[in-house]
């Protein structure tokens, strides 16, 4: 198999090649021998091309030799077999030309399989000048002149070649400083202006004067169909321009400056006529707008030297004096000889700042990483978890007085309150405390355990619990520890158990701790040292509503870790128990109430309840009795569970009265709320 491979290369070259010459296979025209090889390469100098014309081709043919031409200029052709001169002229030679400054290479080799002699190939190469002016990318904006090895651009009369040596432009920069009147126009006015124009006209007069511009008729500067400027007129004195189209700027155009530069630019297309502008001077006046986002009184279009006005910032903006300690919305200023106001301050948007919310992380600002706090900005509040609910409006706006105000006009921030009385696991099976049944984890999430002294408590928010006064009577303010988020009272060291240390214990002031026959006002509040993290196994119970309470024969649920068997061992439960018990009538509650066989006093601050074989017992004191009966609350649309009673006292379990006495919590709701508010207010004042 014999192959002739032709490639186009873009390679650097060290020296100029011969301008023409032959290239042919070894032994041509007598024929090439087996294993003959030839490698040939030539490059054109810059501004030239190299072409190769194959005039004869007679090589061994083979099935694997295919014509394979690529337009990207690398591999041009793979040839074998025999071709006529006409075929070469038509199919091959037109491809064998390099890019300007490019190269051609040729590779020939034969193997041992030649069965007959072939004459080989012959080609003629030439180096030719490349006419860059035929290239549409030569970048000459007007005239292009080709010469051997390169090209040059030139311009029409009145134009000159820019520094890029390709773009034709005009000399239209002019310094007219010192002139107090005159006329400026675009190049070739009133005829079509030059393309690629970059004109700069400089006007400068004395400090106490200002320049006044009058654009003449015939204004015609190119713009597109969307009204955007293609060519433009711009002045450097403030924000005058850009101007374009067929409508001239309103005249007179006051610059309020003694130094003005007028710039005119055009692209390489179009035939618009341009502009003419006359200028003159007048005494400087101060502009009617002193500063953005403000108004001046008395209001005038312009002010003369010595006039004083009161500047008032718009609603939502304050004066920025850089040194002020108190925000203000207005100030006085006087027009100076130089045509400027003094003093002059900017009106900056009011900044309401980050809302003042507790730093406990419960009430949060949405997008708190980068909240916008300027006038008119909105913020949205949210609670940190689903175990809190937002009370109040969630969206506030920064108003003109620097206050965050809700859509309803409320300036007090919303609050997050604990979701109460809604366990995620709602029990449905009856159980007993006395000989009872186990509660499931999360079924009574407000139940807290006091291990020493043995008793219970109820979580009422993330910082407070309520229990019976007699449980904590005599304890120090910080010597009490409570446990929550559990049902097994013996497993207090696991990671899921929440430990709460008491910071303050507040016993109801009317509780008589010295009385052995009266448990009236048997209620106490416990404040923790820190907020507890709420979750599915630790949630507060709701306080009762007025005129609620456990009615006669109505069933509620009592829970605790108290005694479960009526035997001599009096074993305290290892697992939280609960029982459904019914309320008794006040008359029934007053029948021979006893505690440790001592007659007791029954008051309106108590109620009693029980059921056959079911009752609270020793060790349950301080625990909750809730309504509605566990398992019939949320899923039956009876509302959240509420703390109606606190286990207080009763006859000894072994006497089988099955009648326990409870502190009526609804009588103490006001005391609970007032006490919590007072303590937390004192804490905020101490901070």
Q: Is residue 432 part of a domain?
A: no
Three-state DSSP state, 88? helix
606 or 569, higher pLDDT: 606
**What are the Cα distances from residue 686, in Å, to 466, 566, 673, 681?**
25, 51, 20, 9
Same domain, 138 and 273: no
Residue among 308, 309, 352 nearest 327 (CA): 352
318: pLDDT strictly greater than 80: yes
Structure confidence at residue 479 (pLDDT): 76
For 484-528, write each residue's pLDDT tens digit: 999 887 777 677 899 999 999 999 999 988 887 889 999 999 999
Q: What percent of the chain has pLDDT over 70?
A: 87
* pTM metric for this prediction: 0.58
User: β-strand 388-391 against 415-418: which pairing, if any?
Assistant: antiparallel
Residue among 146, 264, 244, 111 nearest 194 (CA): 264
Same domain, 291 and 279: no
476: pLDDT strictly greater than 80: no
Sign, Cα dihedral of 95, 96, 102, 104: positive
Structure confidence at residue 543 (pLDDT): 96
Structure confidence at residue 653 (pLDDT): 61
Query: What residues are paired with 556 via a beta bridge?
Result: 581
Averaged pLDDT for residues 392-403? 90
Structure confidence at residue 568 (pLDDT): 41
Residue among 253, 256, 263, 137 nearest 200 (CA): 263
Averaging pLDDT over each range in 60-74, 295-309, 612-626, which range is the top one? 295-309
253: pLDDT strictly greater than 90: no
Q: What is the CATH number of the domain that holds 397?
A: 2.10.70.10
Q: Is residue 265 part of a domain?
A: yes
Residues 80 and 63 sit within 8 Å (Cβ to Cβ)? no
Q: Can you tell me the distance from the alpha carbon of 562 to that of 434, in angstroms, rounded to the nearest whole number?
A: 8
Q: How many Cα atoms sit within 13 Å of 678 on the Cβ side?
A: 9
300: pLDDT strictly greater than 70: yes
Question: In the structure, what pLDDT confidence band is assigned to residue 472 with cuts at 50, 70 and 90?
Answer: very high
User: β-strand 198-204 against 174-175: which pairing, if any?
Assistant: parallel
Same domain, 123 and 145: no
278: pLDDT strictly greater than 50: yes
Q: Is residue 308 part of a domain?
A: yes
Residues 483 and 449 sit within 8 Å (Cβ to Cβ)? yes
Domain end position, chosen among 263, 283, 303: 283
Q: Is residue 429 part of a domain?
A: no
* Straight-line distance from the first to the last Cα atom of the chain, in angstroms, rounded to the nearest whole number: 98
Q: Can you tell me the distance from the alpha carbon of 152 to that of 142, in angstroms, rounded to the nearest whole number?
A: 11
Same domain, 446 and 589: yes
Residues 283 and 336 sit within 8 Å (Cβ to Cβ)? no
Query: What is the gyration radius of the CA atoms in the chain, in angstroms?
Result: 50
For 231-247, write each residue's pLDDT tens digit: 888 887 656 788 888 88
User: β-strand 168-169 against 181-185: which pairing, if any?
Assistant: unpaired
Query: What DSSP assignment string belongs to 321-343?
Result: -SS-SS--SEEEEEE-TTS-EES
Structure confidence at residue 14 (pLDDT): 40
Same domain, 571 and 665: yes
Averaged pLDDT for residues 426-445? 65
Same domain, 125 and 144: no
Q: Is residue 354 part of a domain?
A: no
For 327-377, write each residue's pLDDT tens digit: 688 899 999 888 889 998 999 888 888 888 888 888 988 877 778 889 989
Q: Can you tell me the distance from the alpha carbon of 27 to that of 476, in angstroms, rounded to the nearest whole number?
A: 119
Give me the chain's average pLDDT, please: 84
Supply the residues annotated as catalytic: 470, 522, 621
Three-state DSSP state, 217? coil
Same domain, 648 and 606: yes
Same domain, 467 and 566: yes
Domain end position, chosen among 253, 283, 313: 283
Structure confidence at residue 582 (pLDDT): 93
Same domain, 191 and 298: no
Same domain, 604 and 529: yes
User: How many structural domains compose the chain?
Assistant: 6
Q: What is the CATH number of the domain that holds 269?
A: 2.60.120.290
Averaged pLDDT for residues 450-466? 92
Q: Can you tell me the distance from the alpha carbon of 230 to that of 671, in angstroms, rounded to the nearest whole number?
A: 78
Domain carrying residue 54: 2-130
Question: In the structure, what pLDDT confidence band is assigned to residue 606 with cuts at 50, 70 and 90?
Answer: very high
Averaged pLDDT for residues 551-580? 76
Same domain, 484 and 497: yes
Binding residues: 60, 68, 111, 113, 129, 132, 146, 150, 231, 267
Same domain, 278 and 324: no
For 50-107, write each residue's pLDDT tens digit: 889 999 998 888 776 643 333 334 677 788 888 898 988 888 888 888 888 888 888 8
Averaged pLDDT for residues 273-281? 91
475: pLDDT strictly greater than 60: yes
Q: Is residue 356 part of a domain?
A: no
Averaged pLDDT for residues 156-171? 83
567: pLDDT strictly greater than 60: no
Q: Can you tell me the distance from the alpha carbon of 445 to that of 537, in angstroms, rounded to the nearest whole number?
A: 5
Q: Which helix (H) or strand (E) holds 183?
A: strand 181-185
Least confident of 49-53, 183-187, 297-301, 629-633: 629-633
Q: Is residue 577 part of a domain?
A: yes
Question: In the structure, what pLDDT confidence band is assigned to residue 677 with cuts at 50, 70 and 90?
Answer: very high
Query: What residues are paired with 297 via a beta bridge?
Result: 310
Domain end position, chosen among 349, 371, 403: 349
Structure confidence at residue 340 (pLDDT): 86
For 15-40, write each residue's pLDDT tens digit: 445 788 999 989 999 988 888 888 88
Q: Is residue 686 part of a domain?
A: no
- Non-local CB neighbours of 137 within 8 Å, separated by 6+ positions: none
Residues 565 and 556 sit within 8 Å (Cβ to Cβ)? no
Q: What percent of the chain has pLDDT over 90?
A: 32
Structure confidence at residue 558 (pLDDT): 93
Three-state DSSP state, 644? strand
């Amino acid at each position: 198999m014999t192959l002739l491979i032709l490639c186009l290369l873009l390679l650097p070259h060290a020296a100029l090649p011969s301008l023409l010459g032959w290239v042919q296979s070894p032994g041509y025209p007598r024929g090439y021998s087996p294993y003959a090889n030839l490698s040939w390469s030539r490059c054109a100098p810059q501004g030239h091309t190299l072409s190769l014309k194959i005039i004869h081709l007679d090589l061994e043919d083979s099935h694997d030799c295919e014509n394979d031409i690529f337009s990207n200029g690398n591999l041009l052709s793979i040839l074998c077999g025999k071709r006529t001169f006409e075929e070469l002229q038509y199919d091959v030679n037109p491809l064998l030309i390099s890019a300007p400054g490019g190269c051609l290479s040729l590779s020939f080799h034969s193997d041992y399989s030649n069965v007959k002699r072939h004459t080989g190939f012959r080609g003629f190469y030439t180096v030719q000048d490349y006419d860059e002016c035929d290239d549409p990318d030569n970048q000459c904006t007007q005239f292009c002149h080709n010469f051997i090895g390169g090209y040059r651009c030139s311009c029409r009369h009145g134009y000159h070649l820019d520094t890029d040596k390709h773009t034709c432009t005009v000399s239209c920069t002019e310094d007219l400083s010192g002139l107090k009147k005159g006329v400026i126009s675009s190049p070739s006015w009133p005829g079509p202006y030059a393309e690629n124009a970059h004109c700069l006209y400089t006007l400068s007069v004395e400090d106490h004067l200002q320049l006044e511009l009058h654009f003449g008729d015939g204004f015609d500067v190119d713009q597109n169909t969307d009204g955007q400027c293609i060519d433009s007129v711009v002045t450097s004195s403030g924000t005058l321009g850009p101007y374009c189209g067929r409508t001239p700027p309103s005249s007179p155009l006051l610059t309020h400056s003694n130094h003005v530069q007028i710039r005119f630019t055009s692209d390489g297309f179009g035939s618009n006529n341009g502009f003419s502008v006359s200028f003159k001077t007048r005494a400087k006046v101060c502009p009617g707008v002193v500063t953005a986002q403000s108004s001046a009184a008395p209001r005038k279009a312009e002010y003369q030297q010595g006039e004083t006005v009161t500047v008032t910032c718009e609603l939502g903006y304050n004066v920025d004096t850089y040194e002020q300690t108190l925000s203000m919305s207005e100030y006085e200023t006087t027009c100076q000889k130089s045509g400027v106001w003094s003093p002059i301050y900017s009106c900056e948007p009011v900044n309401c700042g980050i809302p003042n919310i507790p730093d406990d992380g419960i009430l949060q600002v949405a997008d708190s990483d980068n909240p916008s706090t300027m006038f008119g900005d909105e913020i949205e509040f949210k609670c940190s978890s689903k175990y809190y609910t937002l009370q109040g409006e969630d969206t506030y706006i920064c108003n003109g007085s620097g206050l965050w105000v809700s859509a309803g006009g409320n300036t007090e921030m919303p609050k997050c309150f604990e979701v109460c009385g809604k366990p995620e696991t709602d029990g449905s099976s009856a159980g007993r405390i006395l000989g009872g049944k186990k509660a499931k984890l999360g079924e009574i999430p407000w139940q807290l355990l006091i291990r020493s002294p043995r008793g219970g408590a109820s979580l009422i928010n993330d910082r407070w619990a309520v229990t019976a006064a007699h449980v904590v009577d005599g304890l120090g303010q910080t010597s009490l520890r409570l446990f929550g988020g559990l049902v097994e009272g013996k497993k207090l060291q696991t990671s899921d158990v929440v430990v709460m240390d008491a910071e303050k214990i507040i016993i109801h002031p009317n509780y008589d701790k010295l009385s052995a026959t009266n448990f009236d006002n048997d209620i106490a509040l416990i404040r923790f040292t820190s907020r507890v993290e709420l979750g599915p196994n630790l949630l507060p119970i709701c306080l009762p509503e007025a005129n609620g309470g456990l009615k006669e024969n109505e069933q509620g649920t009592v829970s605790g870790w108290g005694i479960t068997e009526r035997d001599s061992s009096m074993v305290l439960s290892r697992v939280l128990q609960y029982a459904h018990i019914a309320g008794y009538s006040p008359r029934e509650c007053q029948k021979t109430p006893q505690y440790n066989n001592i007659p007791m006093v029954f008051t309106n601050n108590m109620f009693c309840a029980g059921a056959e074989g079911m009752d609270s017992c020793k060790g349950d004191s301080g625990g909750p009795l809730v309504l509605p009966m566990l398992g019939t609350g949320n899923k039956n649309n009876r509302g959240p569970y509420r703390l109606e009673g606190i286990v207080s006292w009763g006859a000894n379990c072994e006497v089988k009265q099955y009648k326990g006495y409870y502190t009526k919590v609804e009588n103490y709701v006001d005391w609970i709320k007032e006490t919590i508010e007072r303590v937390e207010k004192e804490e905020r004042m101490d901070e």
